[in-house]
Structure 1
Amino acid sequence: MANLRQTPLTCSGHTRPVVHLAFSDITESSYFLISASKDGKPMLRQGDTGDWIGTFEGHKGAVWGVAINKEATKAASGAADFHAKIWDAVSGGEELSIPHKHIVKSVHFSADSSQLATGCNDKKLRIWDLSKPEEAVVEFAGHTGGIKHCYFYRNDTRLVSCSDDKTVRVWDASNGKEIEKLEFSCVPNSVEISPEGGVLTVAAGNTVSFWNAESLQKLNEFKVPSIVNSASLLPEKSIFVCGGDDLKMYKMDYQTGQELESFKGHFGPIHCVRFSPDGELYASGSEDGTLRLWQTTVGKTYGLWKCVEGPTPVENNIQPTALQEVAAN
């Protein structure tokens, strides 16, 4: 086992940088992965293997944010064409297009998929009732820079966002009022809420910090040998992974911050990182236009992985051979 090396699965298909990704919950058909790219075409994949399922076609600009609901029946995307779109994740058809006044950077479904939160370069967050999308149900004003990411949590009663204004803010989802603000010395590049809503993970500069999502008291903060663009905490909270400008994926101990492993595979800066819902793998998206899937426990038989011995990682290139075409007409 000492000679085992990480063997990432490389998911090709995008023609420009991959800037965001999201997993569904575990469904009867395992789980699913959606990716956002500057090529304007979000892609849906089988989450445990990386197999391409289909491409959502309809945006006329770079796609900056994506979301998939827990059941993997609906997908959402936000783009530089000033629109957020809702897609049928089974047929691939476009269900709804919601116009905004600026670039839509982030989208996130409520737990029951009835609402969508959007974060925009006009410095505002909005919540939309998808049955009546003519105007936002709630509009949140307070950020002084463009919104990078936003997520529902605490049974959809709270919204958390990070912005170019160097803050992370928590909002009351019912009325749009700001509850709390965390200030950073540099722009927070990503935020993540743990599945049960207890821990807020923030990547900013060369640090990854962890906060109690209720009290916003800092739990841990660790430095990384690179500018970090994204970080993700394993659901059981023993390790976290992160990646950034030095092209490496880091696996680190959540309690001590000790580097456990680091791997190179991408040929450009890493923009987004997330653990799968079962914690068996983590996905990364890069400036090089690829997604890569990495094993949490190297050498474990899971998905397409088999034990590979030797000093050199072997990549399993996953080409977009369709399981099911889901491109909108």
Structure 2
Amino acid sequence: FFPDGDQIVTASFNGTISIWDKSAADNPKELKETVNLSIIAVTSDGRSVLTLASDATIRTYDLECGDETRPPQDLNEIGRVQRVSYSPDMKMIAVSLEGNDVLLWDVETGSRLGEPMKGHSDVIQFLTFSQDGKRLATGGNDQILYIWNTTTREVVSGPLHGHTADVRAGHFLSGRNRVASCSLDKSIRIWDTESGIQTGEPMSFHQWAVDVLAISPNQDRVASGSGDGRICVWDAVTLSCEGHPTMDHDSSYISSLVFSSDGGRILSTGTDHTIRVWDSHTGQLIGNPLDDHSGFITCAIFVNHDRDIVSTSHGGRLRVWN
């Protein structure tokens, strides 16, 4: 989204950057490239967008005229990009590389920040920034996590051992003091980011691998989603789901979860191509499943002060729901 929230920028495998105005959704402005693109970030002033292309280059475009504003940054000499995450203030990008290293990128200048951060020995599955952008957590198929200082690009704590299978996702809690992680070992774990010590016992409820996590805005609850189609809400302090709801996405593999900004609702997407909205306190489904997508849903988020939902899917569809 643009900073003003009235326009959406999307990128497609056909090399098209589309700028959608919510008041004229049928006529987007398009910028064409010759390679597959994926959006990384819109700059804070709303004037430029950084894209990651299939030829392993980062490009910066002026969204008004469509011209590139600086030479492409070539990542081929460093390694193939596998994962991308951006800081909450949209000023920094973290990318994981085929060689299991991590790079930081400055969004405003389009320049790389320092040398690659090394530690992981297998594919990195997630990168996530703390709310203040001063810490980065990473985890992957080597079953471990690292916490990095984004200023010095040095390890704060790690490797963090405990998971017995691939680590799939993670999020910061309590500012930057704790991290929640989930794994193919069916567990969710909480870590102290400074000491690297696991807090309490693993949280176990799901029958299948846990692939997605969401953190409530006040960071007192964690929602987990699994291949068993179930969603569980956990107390982030007691590490218990007792007294909190569980939800069933009709046995569909849960592909994403997100809390509304007030924490009262949870949005889930599944491999059944539906979007569902739940009361996060009672676990009740709100309304009917949203099922206009015919392909895998790649993104679904609350927008416009939680009054609307924007979703995209394979097949090139973008939908705005009230």
TM over 0.5: yes
Letter in 1 for 2:145: L
Give, in angstroms, the shift of residue 196 of structure 1.
1.8
Is the 8 Å Cα contact of residues 217 and 262 (structure 2) preserved in structure 1?
Answer: no
Q: Hey, what's the Cα distance between the residues in 1 that align with 2:73 and 2:210?
A: 29
Question: Which residue of structure 1 aligns with residue 306 of structure 2?
Answer: 279
Q: Give the alignment partner of residue 223 of structure 1, picking from 222, 232, 248.
A: 248
Change (3 A) 1:290 1:56: farther
Q: CA 1:234 to 1:120, structure 2 compared with 1: closer, same or farther past 3 Å?
A: same
Aligned ranges 1:142-157 → 2 under 5 Å: 142-157=162-177
Q: Which one of 32, 55, 63 corresponds to residue 82 of structure 2?
A: 63
For residue 236 of structure 1, what is the aligned residue in structure 2? 262
Is 1:262 the counterpart of 2:289? The answer is: yes
Of 217, 220, 225, the match for 1:198: 220
More moved, 77-86 vs 218-227: 77-86
Residue 244 of structure 1 deviates from its aligned partner by: 1.6
Cα distance per residue 1:106-130 (max 9 Å; x no partner)? 1112233222111121111001123
Give, in whole Å, the separation in 2 of the partners of 1:120 and 1:189.
12
Amino acid at match of 1:239: R
2:138 corresponds in structure 1 to 118
Deviating above 6 A after TM superposition, structure 1's stretches of 4 or more consecutive aligned residues are 20-24, 32-45, 53-56
Q: 1:215-274 CA deviation, whole Å, 9 max, x = no partner? A: 223211111122211111212233321112111222233334224133335443235544
Map 1:39-50 onto structure 2 (within 5 A): none
Does residue 124 of structure 2 align to residue 98 of structure 1? no
Contact 1:67 1:75 in 2 (8 A): yes
Report if the CA contact (8 A) 1:12-1:291 is conserved.
no
Calculate percent identity across the aligned residue pairs.
20
| Change in CA separation of 1:220 and 1:252 when aligned onto 2, cut-off 3 Å | same
C-alpha distance in 2, partners of 1:21/1:166? 31
Please tell me the residue identity of whatever aligns with 1:260.
G
Provide the secondary structure at the position in 2 that maps to 1:261.
coil
Compute the TM-score of the two structures, normalised by the length of structure 1. 0.69
Aligned positions of 1:122-201 closer than 5 A: 122-133=142-153, 135=155, 137-180=157-200, 181-183=202-204, 184-201=206-223
The Cα offsets for residues 125-167 of structure 1, whole Å up to 9 and x where unpaired, read as: 0011233335554321111111111121112111110111111
Q: 1:198 to 1:126 in 2, by over 3 A?
A: same
Give 1:82's aligned residue. 100
The code of the aligned residue for 1:94 comes to R
Is the 8 Å Cα contact of residues 15 and 289 (structure 1) preserved in structure 2?
no
Q: Which residue of 2 aligns with 1:303?
A: none
What amino acid is aligned across from residue 212 of structure 1 in structure 2?
D
The CA distance in 2 between the partners of 1:220 and 1:107, in whole Å, is 28
Q: Which runs of 5+ in 1 are unaligned?
A: 1-8, 46-50, 299-329
CA distance in 1, matches of 2:136, 2:164: 22
Rounded to whole Å, the distance in 1 between the matches of 2:235 and 2:180 is: 13
Per-residue deviation at 1:40?
6.3
1:293 Cα offset (Å): 5.6
Of 228, 231, 237, which aligns to 1:214? 237
Ranges in structure 2 where 5+ consecutive residues have no aligned partner: 1-7, 16-35
Q: Please tell me whether the aligned partners of residues 12 and 289 of structure 1 are also in contact (alpha carbons under 8 angstroms).
A: no
Q: 1:270 to 1:34 in 2, by over 3 A?
A: farther
Question: Partner amino acid for 2:187?
Answer: T
Secondary structure (helix, strand or coil) at the match of 1:175 reads coil
Partner Cα separation in structure 1 for residue 300 and residue 311 of structure 2: 4
* Alignment: residue pair count: 279
* TM-score (structure 2 length as normaliser): 0.71
Letter in 1 for 2:232: S
Which amino acid is 1:163 matched to? S
Does the Cα contact within 8 Å between 1:22 and 1:274 map onto a contact in 2? no
Structure 1 residues 87, 113: closer, same or farther in 2, change over 3 A? same
Conserved 8 A contact 1:191-1:203? yes
Higher relative contact order (CA 8 A, sep 6+): 1
